[in-house]
Amino acid sequence: MAVSKRVSSDRVAVDGRSLTIEKVVRVARSRACVELPSSTHEMMLRSRKALEKLVEDGRVIYAVNTGVGELVDVKIPKDELKSLQVNLLRSHACGVGERYPTEVVRAMMLLRANALAKGYSGVRPEVVRMIVDMLNAGVHPAIPRQGSVGASGDLVMLAHLGLAMIGEGEADAGKGFEPGAKALRRKKLEPISLEAKEAISIINGTQAMAAVGALTAKDAAVLADNAQIAAAMSLEALKGTSSAFDMKVSKVRPHKGQLRVSRNMLALLQGSEIMVSHHDCPKIQDAYTLRCIPQVMGASLDAIWYAEDVLDVEINSATDNPLFFPDEGMVISGGNFHGQPVALAMDFLGLGVHELGSFSERRTARLVDEKLSGLPAFLTRHGGVASGLMVPQYVAASMVSENKVLVHPASADSIPTSANQEDHNSMGTIAAWKARQIAENVRRVVAIEMITAAQGLDFIHLSSSPAVEKVRRVLRKAVPTLEEDRPLADEIEKVARMISDGVFVQAAEGACGFERT
């Protein structure tokens, strides 16, 4: 998704408790302005004072005055605590591979600020203010995508964020990637000097996986809506029946997603002449990819909603270690940095979205097969000299096959780190990126189904429903009827972008009672 270069007048508060996926998307993609409430400032000050008192009392606290990981038993002298902060960032900033897109970096920054703003990490308010100022000024650290095992937090990615905060590493302030200090100066920001505990608080958390996860969950919901619309178009083009969507069927198996999809399919098909023509049809049942739309797509909706529920909790959680509880005067070393909840949710999300694509491709294959569709072979009047829509189905099959590899759960395996001190890792950041890749593939698979179904409807002399007709008219502005063979690559990408932008969902909503995911 493209990110606007203008800071929006929209405002999102970083208070540690009220972030939503929609707000994350607004900051990441529309550059909504980020605010740090005064109440949050007070919470962080209390936590910081609690930390400082414990240190003054001689307490040995992990990562405050000790080494990290297997080096936990190494006591750090007071006069070296500042050096520890810089060394932690430098040593952990060893990510490799392509950089994360700007939208992911912005989401990551927002989520890290929100976690620290809860007031359990013991950092000064200045640390969170620095992240907020960088977000609002458009200073985006260079963060490589590979290197997290998703358990001691997304250490590697967040260390690259921290480097830019202290004027090291690289960042993009609107003129391309350059040294961090130069990028900060370009926006009149000064590097921050970190005090005890602040480096580990920056790097210890699940914000890379949660950032990718939040954006992907949003995209998955939009994709699920479009997949239902594409299914309705295909059902019409294949002269299927809506009888299996009767609410009486779903009410006796009342999964939330199945109920939603049944309602949507009935709404999308209301007023269709093609559906009316089935009243005396001798055909008893449609194929599963038509008849079981509520059951299969509904299960994918349930997977998306599960991932959203997990992320709603995660993006408002304290995922640092150790955590400070000023009211009780306690510091507790725990494991909130472990990404297992997000890892499992992202693997499940990827599988649910993959099924939308697998389901879609089978309808596309049915549409171009004259023996199954009753339509001209490959939806062209000039079969032989013309290939029509033969090969777009190949492309869809290729992407579905690729997704079958990507759906292998990242969370199913663990490689220990830090000399077996960290002996189980979630791989949640890998799971989140895989889910994003799957969604990108499925978006194009669904775009191909829409193009193919629209072409199939051109051969039918009965009217489809008002909702389907409206969607088809919108699509036809971007993709004319295929009268003669032409390259379709750009048109597939154009429809995929329209899916992302919600163009078809808006058209369907305007014509019927369609409910968004």
pLDDT digits (tens, 9 = 90+) for 422-474: 888 899 999 999 999 999 999 999 999 999 999 999 999 899 999 999 999 99
Ranges assigned E (strand) in 14-66: 32-35
Q: Is the pLDDT score of 126 beyond 50?
A: yes
pLDDT above 70 coverage of the chain, percent: 97
Specify the amino acid at residue 378.
F
pLDDT surpasses 70 at 350: yes
pLDDT of residue 5: 45
| pLDDT greater than 50 at residue 1 | no
Residue where the block lists tokens 């059951």: 295
Asked if pLDDT for residue 417 goes beyond 90, the answer is no
Q: What is the pLDDT of residue 8?
A: 53
- Which segments of the chain belong to CATH 1.10.275.10? 8-205
- pLDDT for the residue numbered 209: 98
Q: In this model, does residue 263 exceed pLDDT 90? A: yes
**Structure token digits, residue 33:** 């302005």
Selection from 338, 79, 316, 99 nearest residue 206 by Cα: 338
State the average pLDDT over residues 203-222.
97
Higher pLDDT, 366 or 10: 366
Mean pLDDT of the chain: 93
pLDDT band at 2 (very low <50, low <70, confident <90, very high): very low
Q: Is the pLDDT of residue 81 over 60?
A: yes
Calculate mean pLDDT across residues 473-482. 97
* In 70-124, alpha helices (H): 81-92, 102-117
Report the top-level CATH class of 213-322+332-511. Answer: mainly alpha
Band of residue 158 on the pLDDT scale cut at 50, 70, 90: very high
Arithmetic mean of pLDDT, 69-80: 75
Q: Do 153 and 205 form a contact (C-beta atoms < 8 A)?
A: yes
Q: Please tell me the predicted confidence (pLDDT) of residue 7.
A: 47
- Give the pLDDT confidence score for residue 55 in this predicted structure: 80
Q: How confident is residue 280, by pLDDT bands cut at 50, 70 and 90?
A: low
How big is the chain, counted in residues?
Answer: 517
Q: What pLDDT, on a 0 to 100 scale, did the predictor assign at position 70? A: 67
Scanning 333-485, the segments in alpha helix (DSSP H) are 340-368, 370-373, 390-406, 428-457, 466-478
Residue 144 and residue 347 in contact, taking contact as beta carbons nearer than 8 Å: no
Instruction: Report the C-alpha gap between 158 and 89 in whole angstroms.
Output: 9
Q: Which two three-digit tokens encode residue 419?
A: 């000399």
Locate CATH 1.20.200.10 in the chain: 213-322+332-511
Q: Would you call 120 a catalytic residue per the annotation?
A: no
Q: Which pLDDT band holds residue 98 (cuts at 50, 70, 90)? A: very high
The backbone region for 89, taken as left when phi is positive above 0, alpha when psi lies in -120 to 50, beta otherwise, is: alpha
Catalytic residue among 62, 100, 120, 288: 62
What's the pLDDT score for residue 6?
A: 45
Separation between Cα atoms, residue 453 and residue 126, nearest integer Å: 55
The torsion angles phi and psi of 257, rounded to 5 degrees, stand at: -65, -40
Picking from 39-43, 256-260, 487-491, which range would have the lowest pLDDT averaged per residue?
Answer: 39-43
Residue 279 has pLDDT above 80, yes or no: no
Q: Which residue has the higher pLDDT, 314 or 81?
A: 314
Local confidence band at 277 (pLDDT 50, 70, 90 cut-offs): confident
Q: Region 76-90: what's the mean pLDDT?
A: 86
pLDDT value at position 281?
Answer: 66
Query: Into which CATH architecture does domain 8-205 fall?
Result: Orthogonal Bundle (1.10)
